[in-house]
């Protein structure tokens, strides 16, 4: 469809009578995001009130439309036209970095020592490694406001816990594989917890609800316990068996 993408891409895959999955890439890469966010914007304009939902992910965009107002064939033709003229969103490529304060401590990040052991590093080195780079938000999912971010330094790559926790506190900062995230609410979870942020990640009264959006660049900023408490953070430690 375009020589600006890998061979065979973009590709349109049927997602039922009311949706098309647009596959722009096959490999997860931060460089994908300007293209994905540009397509989101173009679809919002082109589909107008025929649009029901847009769900961007690492390499794809799910476009859900009203089949009573736009047939699958019409939606496909419109997407083909958009893809032929699509240009990357340069504002996303140069987006300012959003900072999330984090209290890195074993009492709220019980896997901090585990990661240090796996990486052959001290806990202080793990904190420095995690906080020294900015991460791109690739997708929102799992829970409202849960932002999947990457890519993590390979030295901190670690598998999920064999047995997920029944209750992970809101604000918990975690890593799994080459991704990192912060839990916006109390939920079950199997990622490795290394700290906690006082930031409110999801708020129904906030425009857009989620503090972080797909395409954002994010950096975790280490703070001490006093600053964490001043910002309203919950210092209650993880409980055994949770």
Statement to judge: residues 151 and 52 lie in one domain: no
Residue 192 has pLDDT above 80, yes or no: yes
Statement to judge: residues 143 and 181 lie in one domain: yes
Whole-number Cα distances in Å, 140 to 37, 43, 213: 13, 18, 7
Handedness of CA 79, 80, 81, 83 (dihedral sign): positive
Residue 161 has pLDDT above 50, yes or no: yes
Q: Could you tell me which residue, 111 or 57, shows the higher pLDDT?
A: 111
Q: pLDDT confidence of 238, banded at 50, 70, 90?
A: confident
Whole-number Cα distances in Å, 130 to 88, 166, 224: 28, 25, 16
The confidence score (pLDDT) of residue 3 equals 56
Statement to judge: residues 84 and 159 lie in one domain: no
Residue 171 has pLDDT above 90, yes or no: yes
Q: Could you tell me which residue, 1 or 231, shows the higher pLDDT?
A: 231
Statement to judge: residues 49 and 73 lie in one domain: yes
The residue from 72, 93, 114 where one domain ends is 93
The residue from 43, 68, 93 where one domain ends is 93
Q: pLDDT confidence of 241, banded at 50, 70, 90?
A: very low
Residue 242 has pLDDT above 70, yes or no: no
The answer as to whether 128 is a domain residue is yes
The answer as to whether 73 is a domain residue is yes
Q: Provide the number of structural domains found in the chain.
A: 2
Cβ(137)–Cβ(28) below 8 Å? no
Statement to judge: residues 119 and 213 lie in one domain: yes
Give residue 30's domain range: 11-93
The confidence score (pLDDT) of residue 194 equals 98
Question: What is the b/e burial string over 61-88, where b = at least 16 CB atoms within 10 angstroms of the residue's CB?
Answer: bebbbebeebebeebeebbeebbeebeb
The residue from 93, 109, 127 where one domain ends is 93
Q: pLDDT confidence of 1, banded at 50, 70, 90?
A: very low
Residue 2 has pLDDT above 70, yes or no: no
The 10s digit of each residue's pLDDT in 134-160 is: 999 999 988 899 999 998 999 999 999
The answer as to whether 31 is a domain residue is yes
The answer as to whether 238 is a domain residue is no
Statement to judge: residues 73 and 126 lie in one domain: no
The answer as to whether 141 is a domain residue is yes
Residue 217 phi/psi, 5° resolution?
Answer: -105, 135
Cβ(118)–Cβ(158) below 8 Å? yes
Statement to judge: residues 139 and 125 lie in one domain: yes
Q: pLDDT confidence of 30, banded at 50, 70, 90?
A: confident
Range of weakest confidence among 29-33, 44-48, 189-193 = 29-33
Q: Tell whether pTM > 0.85.
A: no
How many percent of the chain have pLDDT more than 70? 97
Statement to judge: residues 76 and 164 lie in one domain: no
Statement to judge: residues 72 and 129 lie in one domain: no
Residue 92 has pLDDT above 80, yes or no: no
d(CA 72, CA 62): 13
226 burial type by CB count under 10 A (0-12 exposed, 13-18 middle, 19+ buried):
exposed
Q: pLDDT confidence of 65, banded at 50, 70, 90?
A: very high
The answer as to whether 182 is a domain residue is yes
Statement to judge: residues 49 and 135 lie in one domain: no
The answer as to whether 239 is a domain residue is no
Q: pLDDT confidence of 180, banded at 50, 70, 90?
A: very high
Whole-number Cα distances in Å, 60 to 10, 20, 50, 147, 189: 9, 10, 20, 16, 25
Statement to judge: residues 110 and 226 lie in one domain: yes
Residue 112 has pLDDT above 90, yes or no: yes
CATH code of the domain containing 67: 3.30.1360.40
d(CA 155, CA 237): 26
The answer as to whether 217 is a domain residue is yes
Residue 6 has pLDDT above 60, yes or no: yes
Question: What is the b/e burial string over 126-138, where b = at least 16 CB atoms within 10 angstroms of the residue's CB?
Answer: bbebbbeebbbbb
Q: pLDDT confidence of 225, banded at 50, 70, 90?
A: very high
CATH code of the domain containing 223: 2.40.100.10
Nearest to 216 by CA among 120, 149, 159: 149
Statement to judge: residues 105 and 56 lie in one domain: no
């Amino acid at each position: 469809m375009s020589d600006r993408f890998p061979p065979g891409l973009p590709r349109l895959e049927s997602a039922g009578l009311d949706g098309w999955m647009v596959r722009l890439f096959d490999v997860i890469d931060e460089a994908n995001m300007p293209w994905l966010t540009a397509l989101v914007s173009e679809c919002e304009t082109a589909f107008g009130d025929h649009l029901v939902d847009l769900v961007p992910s690492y390499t794809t965009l799910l476009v859900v439309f009203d089949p009573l107002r736009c047939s699958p064939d019409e939606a496909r033709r419109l997407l083909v036209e958009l893809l032929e003229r699509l240009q990357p969103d340069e504002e996303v490529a140069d987006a300012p970095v959003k900072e999330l304060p984090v209290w890195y401590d074993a009492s709220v990040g019980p896997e901090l020592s585990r990661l240090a052991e796996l990486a052959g590093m001290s806990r202080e080195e793990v904190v420095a490694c995690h906080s020294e780079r900015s991460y791109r938000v690739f997708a929102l999912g799992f829970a409202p406001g849960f932002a999947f971010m990457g890519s993590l330094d390979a030295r901190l790559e670690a598998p999920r816990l064999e047995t997920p926790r029944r209750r992970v506190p809101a604000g918990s900062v975690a890593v799994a594989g080459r991704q990192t995230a912060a839990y916006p609410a109390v939920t079950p979870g199997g990622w490795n917890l290394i700290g906690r942020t006082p930031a409110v990640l999801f708020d129904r009264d906030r425009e857009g609800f989620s503090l972080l959006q797909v395409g954002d660049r994010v950096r975790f900023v280490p703070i001490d316990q006093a600053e964490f408490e001043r910002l309203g953070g919950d210092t209650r430690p993880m409980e055994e068996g949770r």
